[in-house]
Homo-oligomer: A and B are copies of this chain.
Amino acid sequence: MTNQPPDHLPVTAEPDVQVTDDILREHPERVAAVRDALEAGDVTRVRDVVLPLHYADLADLIEALGHDERMALLDTIRGELDPDVLPMLEDAVRDEVVEHLGPEEVAAALGEMDTDDAIEVVQTLDDEAREEVLDAVPADERAVLEEGLTYPEDSAGRLMQRELVSVPIAWDVGQTIDHLRAVAERDDEDLPDEFYDIYVVDDRSRLVGRVSLSRILRSKRSLALAELADTELRSVPVDMDQEEVALLFRQYGLASAPVVSAGNRLVGVITVDDIVDIIHEEAEEDILLLGGVSEGDLYEAAVDTAKSRFPWLAVNLATALLAANVIGLFEATIEKVVALAVLMPIVASMGGNAGTQTMTVAVRALASKELSVANGLRIFWKEGIVGGVNGLVFAVIMGLVAWAWFGDPSIGLVIAAAMTINLLVAGLAGVAIPLALDRSGVDPAVASPVFLTTLTDVVGFSAFLGLATIFVV
């Protein structure tokens, strides 16, 4: 199946291929090296490390430095910063860098980027900085950027690049190749830097098909595009949310997709490299939100991290106080049978864990559109059964353990009943809470864990202590 060329001619170039085995591991060491060189004021050493870097690696490095080091680094490579670094930076870091570079240098950098990258940079600036930068951009480029900014945030319109190649459906392969060569000879900048597909349009600029470059290259010059074009292609409406665009790319293994406005007019193209970032960010965001943090804050100062984590802990304190209040209602019961205080956290903890299992599956199924109102009820009952079954199993185990431990069968029966109730509620709530939040437009990954653990704590403590008040004391 491998296609080797028919013959191998003598070498005319020396191999200079970088094997990337340890590129990924170099990052922390590189940060330390640049930090040392900056501190020592060794400009040559800083430039030796920084200038050969790929723009993505340089962006990581800039992010990893503290504010003062970052500014010192920018001064060291003034005028030689690769423009492509800017779109790769985290928003807060980019704000600093843009302010330090000044509007003229930023505007010049925007001119060298594809529109999607330029919009990524411009859209996160605050209003004043954005106006200053846009004022410094030439009028025609500014019009493109301003049009891009009219599309909703996180929509396909913001993600797409305007640079694309489209040709009339009436052309053949030879005309297409000649056209590309002619454009490139006139001004190579008029073509996208890299592209995978050529789009085929009718005489009213409506998208009618797609031809991949590998199809063009293997076909005879005389073949008509109408015969070659893939007309069942998947296009993206310009206002589609980026999360759905990512699902589309993933589902159909796309390398790029055309973006169309009303009336199927071709307005741009989205490439997979932007989508890879979104897939990663969306999943990452859910992980962090479920863990109660708003952002990966590895490089932030300790006091900023402490501040950013405070609100979530404060919410948790409020719910813990609520649960404590529930326990407070049964002080008299606990005073008589202190074993209840020993056992009660078990019921709450098992409910919390069982609920978290269900909730995690539900939150991810909502994100990948596998869970919806259509099948929500079925999954709700299913999780109820799962919770009930595991509730009964652990009820038996825990009932016997409690009986043996405290020598009182009634304590065993009460903990068994409370366990069953709490795991059943946990299973149902694990589906119902994310689904309800999603329907009311709240991100289920943010709010589900609080609601869920509050519920399983309150139900766990009140079922166990309530039943004990009736049957044990």
Contacts and interface: CB of A to CB of B under 8 A. Distances in A.
A237 to B, nearest CB: 5
A316 B353 contact: yes
A124 interface: no
Nearest to A206: B15
B361 A297 contact: yes
Interface residues of A, number: 177
Interface stretch (A70-78, A99-107, A341-349): A341-349
Contacts of A184: 218-219
A188 B19 contact: no
A154 interface: no
A13 B233 CA distance: 14
Given A5-B167, A10-B203, A390 B310 contact: yes
Interface stretch (A40-48, A129-137, A363-371, A436-444): A363-371
A167 B397 CA distance: 68
B181 A397 contact: no
Given A9-B170, A346-B317, A365-B296, A254 B233 contact: no
A462 interface: no
A65 interface: no
Given A251-B56, A313-B390, A202 B324 contact: no
Contacts of A27: 369-370
Interface string A186-205: 00101110111000011111
A297 B427 CA distance: 14
Nearest to A25: B369
A28 interface: yes
Nearest to A28: B374
A189 to B, nearest CB: 8
Given A27-B369, A360-B287, A385 B232 contact: no
B309 A327 contact: no
Contact of A177 (B115, B217, B249): B217
- Give the interface centre of A1, A209, A277, A323 by most chain B CB atoms within 10 Å: A1
23 contacts: A2-B162, A3-B164, A4-B205, A8-B201, A9-B170, A15-B206, A18-B232, A19-B264, A181-B219, A192-B214, A250-B280, A253-B273, A272-B272, A272-B276, A290-B291, A292-B353, A296-B361, A298-B370, A312-B357, A323-B345, A323-B346, A324-B343, A344-B345
